[in-house]
Structure 1
Amino acid sequence: MIERLKLFFQYKVALVGSIIIILITFIGLLAPYLVLQDPLQIDLSNALQSASRNYPFGTDHLGRCVYSRIIYGTRISLSVSFIIVFTVMTIGTTIGLMSGYIGKRFDRIVVSIIDIILAFPSLILAIVITGILGPGLVNVMIAIMAVHWVGYARVVRSMVISIKEREYVIAARTSGTNHFHIITRHILPNILSTIIVLASLDMGGIILSISGLSFLGLGAQPPAPEWGAMLNDGKAYFLLKPDLMIYPGLAILLTVFSFNIMGDGLRDFFDPKSQTEKERSD
């Protein structure tokens, strides 16, 4: 375990991304202690104020503290994204395992459903589902979950089909080992690293999807301090006070970038060829 950790620290890209994500997560967890003002408090007398000691990022058109809203937006964006990624990862992995292992008619049905969903751009399909369900953060979560599970199912299914034909799996099946034991002890551990990498890379896309739908008015509704909703609120004042869009935009950019470089680093870390090359270079 210690050797694995030492090896991980050699992947500076993954390490930098992980540190930034940890810091952002702590900002979200400690949001009540980091804000200077109530993020929902309206004070029209302080509308569109420049940065000051009490308002480090200034105020918006309703006199609300932009800094406090950015901090609380971290909590909303990360918590919602983590819930979505965990849910789609669980659903997609379960369906992919069953489809690849059982095969036959069940596999054909799953593949047909995956092909139908993948035939449409994921964001467009999420917009359609949200439009049917109605605006709201919960409905956005449902829409994104309904679209994103197929990515995990497709990857897991293809890996299971390959792994279940290996000698040790065939030997376990021949010896009478039950299917649940084969899946949990022989198949799942071999695909777990791929699932982790896929989830870390997917976090950035999920955050962008949530922010995009909120920017369109389909996600978080006023007065929720969500980054995409803040972009929507600030677009009318872009020429007058562009930082109303710059600050939430930078928050989205930094978070998505951090998850992406962490995912890229984890992909190299779990790749045996990359590990061999890293050890040779050292």
Structure 2
Amino acid sequence: MKRLKHLYKDKLTVLSLAVVVGTGIVGICAPFVAPHDPEEVNMELRFAAASWDYWLGNDHLGRCVLSRLIYGIRPSVLYVFAALAVSVCIGAILGFMAGYFRGKTDAFIMRVCDVMLSFPGYVMSLAVIGVLGAGLENILIAFVLMKWAWFARVIRTSVMQYAESDYVKYSKALGVGHVRIMAKHIVPVSLPDIAVITSSSFGTMILQVSGFSFLGLGIQPPHAEWGMMLNEARAVMFSRPELMLAPGLAIVIVVSAINFLSDALQVALDPKLMNQSAKRQKQTFLPRPRLEEKRGIRYE
């Protein structure tokens, strides 16, 4: 908890956290926040400019751009976070088993991970989409199948650092069960590493979902999603660039906030990086020597 207090001293970190949390709250409360139905077609307002009723204007079917942007938070951010959580849970369970028990269990799980990681991520995702068909659900399934092996390997490396600790050996000698040892001694010290790798993967997955939707492989019309909104506005990108600007800025802002938050979390949870950051801050606020002192001139 003391390390996490350093996060609140950085204004950029606080701003990034506010952006991520605020985006999630707006997405959850989309039916109450959105001013209009995101799927309501009104051809009379086709490509209408921004107004008091439609703050970001209307798209090629007269739909409210702001409402579609708000509803697009769910598939672009919240559903991606759910798929990320499932991937981390599967990877954490297998990673803890491999790093703690070692031996044949470790060898079997790691060989399966090697097989999964031998396929490039995008190729694996396209293969799953080709078999199951286009759609957001199939992309999220592909992400779970693609990501769990990477999480398992990284978490296994973290667990192996603590599985041979003296307090773990002492607990084994006392006859404490394996599940209790992992829950009491290994999980708490491994959580910082899991939090860092999870936050760093979140922004990448958002970009991948938006990319697949932009190519027409993600969520299908008339539902709203940021990547699909970019694809729909591509035909009028020169005459109505604001239609691409809104979802594009939303992706950039959210992903940048997640990346800044991930970096700050890594510094806060890593003692070495935290000490380096503290030294830099001290050097920044140290008084600079006068020009005369630099030249060796002193006045009495």
**Superposition TM-score, scaled by structure 1 size:** 0.93
For 2:158 and 2:192, the matched residues in 1 are separated by: 12
For 2:242 and 2:8, the matched residues in 1 are separated by: 36
For 2:242 and 2:119, the matched residues in 1 are separated by: 35
User: Which amino acid is 2:219 matched to?
Assistant: A
Secondary structure, aligned partner of 1:188:
helix
Shift of 1:12: 3.5
For 2:141 and 2:37, the matched residues in 1 are separated by: 29
For 2:164 and 2:218, the matched residues in 1 are separated by: 44
Instruction: Out of 9-18 and 35-44, give the one that drifted further.
Output: 9-18
**1:102 corresponds to which residue?**
101
CA contact (8 A) 1:131 1:218 kept: no
1:123-134 equivalence runs, <5 A: 123-134=122-133
CA contact (8 A) 1:85 1:199 kept: yes
Shift of 1:36: 2.2
How big is the alpha-carbon RMSD for the aligned residues of Structure 1 and Structure 2?
1.7
Which structure's relative contact order is higher, taking Cα pairs within 8 Å and 6+ residues apart?
A: 1
Query: Greater CA radius of gyration, 1 or 2?
Result: 2
CA contact (8 A) 2:4 2:269 kept: no
User: Which amino acid is 2:114 matched to?
Assistant: D
Secondary structure, aligned partner of 1:41:
coil
**1:88 corresponds to which residue?**
87
1:52-201 equivalence runs, <5 A: 52-201=51-200
CA contact (8 A) 1:42 1:62 kept: yes
Instruction: Out of 260-269 and 115-124, give the one that drifted further.
Output: 115-124
**2:295 corresponds to which residue?**
none
Instruction: Out of 34-43 and 262-271, give the one that drifted further.
Output: 34-43
| Residue identity (%) | 37
For 2:208 and 2:86, the matched residues in 1 are separated by: 16
Shift of 1:279: 5.1
Shift of 1:52: 1.8
**1:260 corresponds to which residue?**
259
**2:215 corresponds to which residue?**
216
Secondary structure, aligned partner of 1:241:
coil
Q: Deviations over 1:178-232 (max 9, x none)?
A: 1111111111111101111111121111111111111121111101111111112
Instruction: Out of 255-264 and 164-173, give the one that drifted further.
Output: 164-173
Shift of 1:149: 1.2
CA contact (8 A) 1:14 1:263 kept: no
Shift of 1:278: 4.8
Segments of 5+ residues of structure 1 without an aligned counterpart are none
Shift of 1:4: 4.8
For 1:26 and 1:195, the matched residues in 2 are separated by: 24
For 2:278 and 2:241, the matched residues in 1 are separated by: 48
User: Which amino acid is 2:173 matched to?
Assistant: T
**2:25 corresponds to which residue?**
26
User: Which amino acid is 2:266 matched to?
Assistant: R
User: Which amino acid is 2:149 matched to?
Assistant: V
For 1:102 and 1:274, the matched residues in 2 are separated by: 31
Instruction: Out of 54-63 and 28-37, give the one that drifted further.
Output: 28-37
Shift of 1:5: 5.2
Q: Deviations over 1:94-140 (max 9, x none)?
A: 01011111222222222222222222321231122112111111111
Segments of 5+ residues of structure 2 without an aligned counterpart are 283-300
User: Which amino acid is 2:248 matched to?
Assistant: G
What is the number of residues matched between the two proteins? 281
Secondary structure, aligned partner of 1:218:
coil
Shift of 1:16: 2.3
User: Which amino acid is 1:26 matched to?
Assistant: I
CA contact (8 A) 2:95 2:152 kept: yes
Shift of 1:148: 1.0
